[in-house]
Amino acid sequence: MIIPAIDLINGRCVRLYKGDFNQRTDYDEDPIDVAKRFAAEGAERMHIVDLDGAKHGKSSQSDLIMKIAAESGLKVQTGGGIRDLSQIQRLLDGGIDRVVVGSLSVTNPQMVKFWLNEVTPSKIVVALDVNLDENGVPFPATRGWLEAGKRSLWEILDDYSGSGLNTVLITDIGRDGVLGGSNVDLYQEVQSNYPTLNVITSGGVGSIKHVKALKALNPHGIIIGKALYENKFTVADAVAC
Catalytic residue flag (residue 185): no
Catalytic-role residue among 7, 50, 172, 176:
7
Active-site choice (52, 129, 172, 176): 129
Give CA–CA dist 33/24, Å, rounded.
Answer: 21
Q: Please write down the HEC assignment for all residues of the chain.
A: CEEEEEEEECCEEEEEECCEEEEEEECCCCHHHHHHHHHHCCCCEEEEEEHHHHHHCCCCCHHHHHHHHHHHCCEEEEECCCCCHHHHHHHHHCCCCEEEECHHHHHCHHHHHHHHHHCCHHHEEEEEEEEECCCCCEEECECCCCECCCCCHHHHHHHCCCCCCCEEEEEEHHHCCCCCCCCHHHHHHHHHHCCCCEEEEECCCCCHHHHHHHHCCCCCEEEECHHHHCCCCCHHHHHHC
- Give the number of other Cβ atoms within 10 Å of residue 107's Cβ: 16
7 in active site: yes
* Catalytically annotated residues: 7, 129
